[in-house]
Each structure stands twice: as structure tokens, then as C-alpha cells.
Amino acid sequence: MLTKASELNAYDVALENFDTAADALGLDHDTREMIKYPERVLTVSVPVLMDDGHIRRFEAYRVQHSSVRGPAKGGIRYHPQVTLDEVKALATWMTWKCAVVNIPFGGAKGGVTCDPKHMSQHELERLTRRYTSGILPLIGPEQDIPAPDVYTNPQTMAWIMDTYSMTKGYAIPGVVTGKPISLGGSLGRNEATGRGVFYTVQSACEHLHLPLKGAKVVVQGFGNAGSIAAQLLYEAGAKVIAVSDSRACILNRNGLNIPELMHMKALTGHVEGFPESEPIAPADLLALECDILVPAALENTIHAENANSVRAKIVAEAANGPLTPAADRILERKNIFVIPDILCNAGGVTVSYFEWVQDEQHLFWEAQDVYDRLEKVMKNAFRDVLKIHVDKKVSMRIAANMLGISRVAEAVQIRGIYP
């Protein structure tokens, strides 16, 4: 029986992906035991004084999957559907992602089960500060460094940085990345994930001899990652024909004006009703004939029931885990080239690493410096993954997992066990 995507457990998917890649690597049992599971899992109960004078309790998590290659690193998600298993899956993917782009970090993730769209700024600030106090024993610039994820942003990071710094007694900008520039954030961090997606799409187009100019693009999830990827693809001459957010899907077969759409989204918070566009159903958006489909919303949006309808040449996973394993197999059969999440969206954590380096050195780089270094990292990682894909005749996802897992495995084997 097919598992419904909504019932699919992201952590099961993460473990299944690990086993497939570990089998392809011929990884021994002992190494698997040491690197497969999260090192630390913390659940915190977060009481928050709401604006109506009542206390509301939120369940929240921080998971450190690996610190083998360096401090654990990963974003914090605020969403009503956050579960511990989702956070464990996202933390696991962070470990392999950091290793794929070869930055000296392990993997972590945090999450708060809440509905930020229905909370005031004051409530979000109190929630963030109390959550930070809850995870304080785990985080720190040499231990575990949070960053933004779905429905968290530079302001959230500023509150975390301030709360952490106030408990220590001095400013510690390196405890989080994705901060405002005025607090030690890096130029280029806000657009880093979308920019990284763009670089990997460029590499994939080169590999497939597909001209980016005139290529038809569909973006599911017009948020931070999706909108920046759309903008850079638009600037490179691609035609972004459809985009969506949690409220609406819009289409213009002649191409949407992305800078204007971004302007409208910044003003209104959504894409619905954009001039010169027509509304379409979410299922129709995924089924549009296009060259590049960018899922940039949440997990499991492409699954066994809708993967057959996908008619793209490239699927660029800006989101984490947008394809279920069943969808993966279907797209592979359809010969669709998938740029897997741990490669495709690694630009965010890469510039987070640059931010951390700049904070540690108290020396800040020009935006162009950040872009150039990011392009080099992303294109090198794409080349390394593609080589495994071609040499070992495995999917790009298995190839990326093989690369990430093999680097962590090598590190753990050299380190050994202590105590």
C-alpha cells in the first residue's frame, strides 16, 4: 500500500536515504552505528506570556545530529507542524549537507511547534528568548550555531544572539548566523540559499546542455529560498511561468515579472492577485510542462500520487526533503535530473559558515567576495557529486549522500571513540 505523503515520517526518509547511500559505499556496521543517529536530542517546554495576559506553553526542540567534523550547525523552524522527528530528519540532513560542501561543521536543527502567523512580534520575541534559555546548554559559537529556517528571520537571530550574550555578559555574535548586518551578519547571507540553488541549476543546465536563457521555470514556495532563486533565474534570462505560496498559485505562460512580484510580496506578504497572472490549483502547478521545477516550500510535497504528473527536465530541491523516496524513484524512471536538497540548498549554510568565520575574525568581506566564494564552493560540490553519479551510476541523491556520509565516516574513523 502506498503511504500518504502527509503520513510520511521525514526521519524515516532520512534513515532510508542513509542506508541506501551507506550500502552503495559498502560502509561497515561499526561506522554506521557511530554516525547514523543524532548525538543529542533536547525537548524544551516553553511558557510564553501572550498579549491577552495568559500563559501558553509551546513544545520546542534542538537536535544535534553530529559534531564529528566541527560545531553542529542548523536552522530553527517555527511552524504548527513541527515534530521531533521532523527536526531529527532536518538535523541529519544538515550533517551530510555540510560535508557535501566540505565546510567544517556538523549538523543540527531546532524547531518550535507554533503558528507564527497568528502571533504578535512581542509574543514571538518572548517565545524566542525563552526558547533560547531552554537550549542554552547546547548552543555556542564553538558548539552549536543556529540560523533561520521556515518562518524565522534575522530579527529572530538577533533576539537569540542578545539573549545568549546577556547570559554570558558580553556580545557573542558568532552564536548564530543569518543575523542582521549591524550585528555581525554577512553580506549575501539573506540571499545565499537562493543564490546557491541558482549556481547548481547553472551547473545542471551545463551538464544537460540546456540553455538557461529562455528556460521555463516553476517555483513552489515563493519565500526566502524560492523567491531569490526565481529572481536570479529571471535575471539570467529564464522565464518563470508560475510560482506559489501557502495561499495561492499563479501562472503567466509568457513569464512573470519577478522583481515586481517580489515587490508586491514584500508589501502584501503574498503572491495572490498579482497583475497579469491567473490563479491555478496547486496540483496543476506541479504538473506544468517546464524545464526547471524548484520545490522551495516544505517536505514531501512531491510524492507517489503526484510525481507522475511532473513534466520538468530538472528538479532543483531548494526545500529540504520535498521529494518522498517513492517520488524520487518515479522521477528517476522518468529520467528527470534531480539536484538533491543537501547539494542544491547548501548555499545557505555555506554563507552561514562565511558569516561565522567573519565573526570569529572580526573582519568583514565585500558582497562580491561572498558571491565568488559561494559560487566556487557550490560548483565544486556539484562537480564532486556529479562525478560519483556518473562513475558509480547512482542517482544524484545517492551520490550526494555518498559524498557527505563518506566524509563524516572518514572523520569518525580517524577520531575513534573516547571515552
Confirm or reject binding of residue 297 to ligand NAD (CB under 6 A): yes
Determine the angle formed by the axes of helices 347-361 and 192-208, rounding to 10 degrees: 130
Q: Which is nearer to ligand NAD, 283 or 390 (CB)?
A: 283
Considering only 64, 132, 200, 224, the residue that binds ligand NAD (CB under 6 A) is 224
Most distant CA atoms of the chain, gap in Å: 64
DSSP element (H, E) containing 234: helix 224-235
Q: How many chain residues are in contact with ligand NAD, going by CB under 6 A?
A: 23
**CA distance linking residue 342 with residue 332, whole number of Å:** 17
DSSP element (H, E) containing 48: strand 40-49
Confirm or reject binding of residue 225 to ligand NAD (CB under 6 A): yes
Of residues 156-195, those binding ligand NAD (CB under 6 A): 193
Q: Which is nearer to ligand NAD, 197 or 398 (CB)?
A: 197
| Three-state secondary-structure class, residue 33 | helix
CB 220 within 8 A of CB 297: yes
Residue span binding ligand NAD (CB under 6 A) among the ranges 6-14, 53-61, 116-124, 293-301:
293-301
Q: Which amino acid is present at 216?
A: K
User: What minimum distance in Å lies between the beta carbon of 162 and ligand NAD?
Assistant: 21
Confirm or reject binding of residue 296 to ligand NAD (CB under 6 A): yes
**CA distance linking residue 95 with residue 34, whole number of Å:** 13
Bridge partner list, 46: 58
Confirm or reject binding of residue 345 to ligand NAD (CB under 6 A): yes
Confirm or reject binding of residue 87 to ligand NAD (CB under 6 A): no
Confirm or reject binding of residue 290 to ligand NAD (CB under 6 A): no
List the strands of the sheet with 278-280, edge to edge.
Answer: 278-280, 249-251, 239-244, 216-220, 292-295, 314-316, 337-339
Residue span binding ligand NAD (CB under 6 A) among the ranges 15-23, 179-187, 220-228, 330-338:
220-228
CB 154 within 8 A of CB 75: no
DSSP letter, residue 305: T
Confirm or reject binding of residue 324 to ligand NAD (CB under 6 A): no
User: What minimum distance in Å lies between the beta carbon of 29 and ligand NAD?
Assistant: 31
Considering only 123, 144, 245, 355, the residue that binds ligand NAD (CB under 6 A) is 245
Q: What is the CA radius of gyration of the chain?
A: 20
Grid look-up 521532523 returns 86
**CA distance linking residue 105 with residue 96, whole number of Å:** 10
Q: Which is nearer to ligand NAD, 134 or 226 (CB)?
A: 226
**CA distance linking residue 97 with residue 149, whole number of Å:** 15
Confirm or reject binding of residue 323 to ligand NAD (CB under 6 A): no
Residue, CB closest to ligand NAD: 223
Considering only 151, 199, 353, 382, the residue that binds ligand NAD (CB under 6 A) is 151
Here the cell at position 207 is 551538464
Dihedral angle computed from the Cα positions of residues 418, 63, 299 and 352, in that order, rounded to the nearest 10 degrees: -90
User: What minimum distance in Å lies between the beta carbon of 316 and ligand NAD?
Assistant: 11
Q: Which is nearer to ligand NAD, 279 or 413 (CB)?
A: 279
Determine the angle formed by the axes of helices 224-235 and 258-268, rounding to 10 degrees: 160
Q: Which amino acid is present at 275?
A: P
Q: Which is nearer to ligand NAD, 109 or 407 (CB)?
A: 109
User: What minimum distance in Å lies between the beta carbon of 72 and ligand NAD?
Assistant: 16
Residue span binding ligand NAD (CB under 6 A) among the ranges 81-89, 134-142, 243-251, 399-407:
243-251
Residue span binding ligand NAD (CB under 6 A) among the ranges 127-135, 291-299, 324-332, 396-404:
291-299
Q: Given 88, 109, 179, 313, which residue is catalytic?
A: 109
**CA distance linking residue 352 with residue 179, whole number of Å:** 9
CB 181 within 8 A of CB 158: no
Considering only 107, 223, 340, 404, the residue that binds ligand NAD (CB under 6 A) is 223
Considering only 20, 220, 324, 350, the residue that binds ligand NAD (CB under 6 A) is 220
Measured from the Cβ of residue 255, the count of other Cβ atoms closer than 10 Å reads 16
User: What minimum distance in Å lies between the beta carbon of 228 and ligand NAD?
Assistant: 8
Q: Which is nearer to ligand NAD, 25 or 341 (CB)?
A: 341
**Among this protein's residues, is 213 annotated catalytic?**
no
Q: Which residues are catalytic?
A: 109
* Residues lying near ligand NAD in the complex (CB under 6 A): 148-151, 193, 220-226, 244-246, 296-298, 318-320, 345, 348
